[in-house]
């Protein structure tokens, strides 16, 4: 695999990982740090900056389905790369994760409910997928 393919795929994986923590906070209707004992919190040097995202029920279900689909797509891309099926991996990246997938995922309906950081992380993931498809 060329350097540019690897770098572009790394961008997809990183951007996908950035969206996850916001989604986890959104799925649990509370702040996870509230369940952590005080002593454990003092030991932790990491600040949890996640926030609850309030989606209408149908939008929330749709977004969770989208995020699960994104993870399956990354897994499929990894599988195709391991088989040296670069053109197929590029096709999956663009059609299921790339900028051209916005309409399929209903991004225009979901984006207004997302906090800025979540929206930016999602856009970065979609851009990275399109860049990967072009590099491949």
What pLDDT is attached to residue 51? 83
Closest CA to 51 of 129, 97, 116: 116
Which three-class secondary structure state does DSSP give residue 136? Answer: coil
Give the Cα separation of 101 and 109 in Å (integer): 13
pLDDT (tens digit per residue) in 53-101: 889 999 999 999 999 999 999 999 999 999 999 999 999 999 999 999 9
pTM of the model: 0.66
């Amino acid at each position: 695999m060329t350097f540019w393919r690897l770098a572009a795929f790394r961008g997809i994986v990183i951007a996908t990982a950035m969206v996850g923590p916001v989604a986890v906070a959104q799925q649990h209707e509370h702040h996870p740090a509230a369940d952590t004992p005080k002593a454990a919190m003092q030991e932790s040097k990491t600040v949890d900056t996640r926030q609850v995202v309030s989606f209408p029920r149908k939008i929330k279900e749709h977004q969770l389905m989208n995020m699960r689909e994104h993870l399956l797509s990354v897994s499929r891309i990894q599988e195709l790369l391991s088989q040296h099926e670069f053109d197929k991996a590029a096709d999956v990246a663009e059609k299921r994760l790339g900028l051209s997938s916005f309409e399929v995922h209903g991004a225009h309906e979901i984006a207004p409910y997302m906090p800025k950081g979540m929206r930016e992380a999602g856009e970065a993931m979609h851009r990275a997928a399109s860049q990967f498809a072009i590099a491949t």
